[in-house]
Structure 1
Amino acid sequence: MNMTAGQSGNPEKINLDRIMNKARKIWDSSPQSVKTFPWNRALENFIQLILDLIVAVIKYLCLPVHAVSSLSEMSYCAHEKKLFLIPIPLLVGVAVAGVLRETTLELSPLLKVEIIYNVD
């Protein structure tokens, strides 16, 4: 038999219920200003900040990866005497980058604002 600390049944559910009760007690004892705080908007802003940081990191990491992969592709094509194949992956990469740029601009309002101010 698998009995943990004298509990029969599902001890994880009992622990989860106890945690939920403690969280409810903490929420009930918190001041009114904490209860009226716009938690949903704060969560949305936090998620947007994290996404913008991820986009910034990807933006600066994509250039070296693209350069290394392009050099690798060019050296392979030169070795195989197929230099006419070089523009094909380059054009595909430019097309994919354009689609990713438009998608990123749709998802991130902060990037739209940055691009507007950088263009002017």
Structure 2
Amino acid sequence: MAAGQPGEPEKLKFDHLMNKARKIWDSSPQPVKTFPWNRALENFIQLIVDLIIAVIKYLCVPLLAVSSLSEMSYCAHQKKLFFVPFPLLIGIAVAGVLKETALELSPLSRMQKFPGI
């Protein structure tokens, strides 16, 4: 009966699923309905973003060490060691900018750094 049109079986399954979800929501108790689901979702997303930032932060330290050693060995091979401080200073400046941006975007990091705010 539903096989006449190509997209109808999926639509019927989706409608059936939506009706089941609506029935479950209607039969749920009032505390579940009044729970601040949007705020919980925002907090969960913020937690995931903070975890990703922490992982990236700790993965960048070995990357900086390896790239610094590589740069220094190349400059030593080319006998141009006086160029080493320039990329290092640029890297420190970029890291400072990224840190300030992360503090602006992440309330959890801001609260850990400045507990009174």
TM-score, length basis structure 2: 0.85
Structure 1 counterpart of 2:69:
71
Root mean square deviation of aligned Cα = 1.7
5+ residue gaps, structure 1: none
Moved over 4 A (4+): none
Between the two proteins, the alignment pairs up a number of residues equal to: 113
CA-to-partner distance for each residue in 1:58-112, whole Å, 9 max, x for gaps? 2222111111111011111111222222122212211211111011101111211
Aligned residue for 1:81, secondary structure, equals coil
Change (3 A) 1:67 1:25: same
**Which residue of the other structure, out of 83, 86, 90, is the alignment partner of 1:85?**
83
Structure 1 counterpart of 2:33:
35
- Structure 1 residue 9, shift from structure 2 partner: 2.7
**Which residue of the other structure, out of 1, 5, 8, is the alignment partner of 1:8?**
5
5+ residue gaps, structure 2: none
TM-score, length basis structure 1: 0.83
Identity of aligned residues (%): 73
Aligned residue for 1:6, secondary structure, equals helix
